[in-house]
C-alpha cells in the first residue's frame, strides 16, 4: 500500500495536496495527522462545517490520525505503522498573528515537530529497510522580512521581522541540517498569501470576500500594500511537484502566482462578481513586512511548475463555494 503523510492534513493546503495525490494516483491512501485545532472560523459557517466539506471533497481514501507531531510517541507510531513514501509537513499555528502571540507554541510547531518527524524517519530506517522518498517542509515567504525590491527570488536574504517568519525559518534550518545529516531527500516550499475555498483562518482574502458578499465596509490597510496572492490549488500542485520529482532534491522554492497585486486591486476583482463594494483605506500594520512578487522562475525551470489560476479565476471559485457550499 502506498501512503503519504500530511501533518496538518485537514488544513486548507493539506486538503488540496491530498486531493492531488489521490486524483493523480500518486498515493493509494493519505494519512492526515491533525490536532483538530480550533483557532478561528468563518463568520457565517462553523468550524465543523468546513471540516465536513473538506472530507466530502477528498472522498474515502483518507485516514485520519488525531494527534500532534510535537509528541515523539505519536509521530513514531504513525511513521512505523504506515511507512509513508512522502511526508508533507504543514502542521503549525496557521496565522502570523497567532504565532506572534504564542511564540512557545509557534516554536513547537516549527522546530520540535520538524525534529521529531525527521528523527522518526531515521529511527525506522535504522531498524528496517524503510526509505522515505521525500520530506517536504512548508515554510513561508515571511522568512524574507522586508523585500529589498518589488520582485525577489530564493536568494534574497532571510531576515524575518516577526515570530511567524522567524519560526518558519528555524524549521527550514532544522530540515536542512537533519535531512543532510541523515541523508534524507527534502525540499522546502515558501508560499505566499494563500487563499481558497474552506479557508477559516481569517486571512485578508477571506475577510474581503465575506464582507463584499454581505455588502459590509472593507478596511484596506495600506494603499500600496501588495501581496503575491496564490490560489490554494496552485500551492498544493507546487508541493506535490517538489515531492515526486526524483531529480530535484534539497532545494528551496517560491511557490506563488508570481504576480503580486495590491489589496485595492484584490477588492476591484471581487467587485466584478459582487458589484460595487464599500471600502476605506487605513494605515498598514507596522509589524508586517513589506512584500511584493516572489519570482517562480526556479520552480518553473526545475519543477515545471506553472500556476493555473489568476486572481479573477481563484476569487470566482471562492465565491462559488461561499454561495453553494461546494468545492469545484
Domain boundaries, the chain: 3-192+231-256+293-308
What is the spatial distance between Cα 161 and Cα 232, in angstroms, rounded to a whole number? 25
Q: What is the pLDDT of residues 57-90, one digit of tens each?
A: 999 999 999 999 999 999 999 999 999 999 999 9
Confidence (pLDDT) at 41:
43
What is the spatial distance between Cα 301 and Cα 246, in angstroms, rounded to a whole number? 15
The stretch 10-21 carries a mean pLDDT of: 96
Q: What is the pLDDT of residues 281-318, one digit of tens each?
A: 998 877 789 999 999 999 999 999 999 999 999 999 99
Confidence (pLDDT) at 7:
97
Q: Looking at the DSSP assignment, which residues form a beta bridge with residue 79? A: none
Instruction: Kindly state the greatest CA–CA separation across the chain.
Output: 63
What is the spatial distance between Cα 218 and Cα 222, in angstroms, rounded to a whole number? 12
Would the pTM of this model clear 0.85, i.e. be above it? yes
Residue 317 grid cell:
471559485
Confidence (pLDDT) at 288:
81
Poorest-confidence range of 12-21, 41-50, 303-312? 41-50
Domain 3-192+231-256+293-308 has CATH 3.40.50.720: yes
Residue the block writes with cell 512584500: 291
For 307, the 3-state DSSP assignment is coil
Amino acid at each position: 500500500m502506498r501512503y503519504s503523510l500530511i501533518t496538518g492534513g485537514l488544513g486548507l493546503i493539506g486538503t488540496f495536496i491530498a486531493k492531488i495525490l489521490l486524483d493523480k494516483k500518486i498515493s493509494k491512501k493519505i494519512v492526515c495527522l491533525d490536532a483538530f485545532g480550533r483557532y478561528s472560523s468563518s463568520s457565517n459557517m462553523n468550524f465543523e462545517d468546513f471540516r465536513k466539506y473538506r472530507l466530502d471533497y477528498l472522498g474515502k481514501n483518507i485516514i485520519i490520525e488525531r494527534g500532534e507531531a510535537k509528541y515523539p510517541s505519536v509521530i513514531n507510531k504513525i511513521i512505523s505503522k504506515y511507512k509513508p513514501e512522502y511526508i508533507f509537513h504543514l502542521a503549525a499555528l496557521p496565522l502570523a498573528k497567532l504565532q506572534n502571540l504564542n511564540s512557545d507554541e509557534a516554536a513547537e510547531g516549527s522546530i520540535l515537530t520538524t525534529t521529531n518527524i525527521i528523527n522518526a524517519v531515521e529511527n525506522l530506517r535504522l531498524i528496517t529497510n524503510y526509505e522515505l522518498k521525500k520530506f517536504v517542509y512548508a515554510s513561508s515567504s515571511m522568512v524574507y522580512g522586508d523585500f529589498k525590491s518589488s520582485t525577489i527570488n530564493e536568494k534574497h536574504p532571510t531576515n524575518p521581522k516577526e515570530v511567524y517568519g522567524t519560526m518558519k525559518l528555524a524549521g527550514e534550518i532544522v530540515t536542512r541540517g537533519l535531512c543532510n545529516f541523515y541523508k534524507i531527500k527534502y525540499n522546502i516550499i515558501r508560499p505566499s498569501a494563500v487563499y481558497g475555498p474552506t479557508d477559516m483562518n481569517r486571512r485578508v482574502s477571506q475577510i474581503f470576500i465575506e464582507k463584499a458578499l454581505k455588502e459590509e465596509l472593507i478596511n484596506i490597510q495600506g494603499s500600496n500594500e501588495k501581496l503575491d496572492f496564490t490560489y490554494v490549488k496552485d500551492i498544493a500542485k507546487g508541493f506535490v511537484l517538489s515531492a515526486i520529482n526524483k531529480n530535484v532534491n534539497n532545494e528551496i522554492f517560491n511557490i506563488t502566482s508570481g504576480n503580486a497585486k495590491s489589496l485595492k486591486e484584490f477588492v476591484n476583482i471581487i467587485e466584478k462578481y459582487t458589484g460595487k463594494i464599500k471600502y476605506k483605506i487605513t494605515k498598514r500594520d507596522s509589524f508586517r513586512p513589506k512584500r511584493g512578487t516572489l519570482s517562480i522562475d526556479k520552480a518553473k525551470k526545475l519543477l515545471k511548475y506553472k500556476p493555473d489560476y489568476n486572481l479573477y479565476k481563484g476569487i470566482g471559485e471562492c465565491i462559488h463555494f461561499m454561495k453553494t457550499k461546494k468545492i469545484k
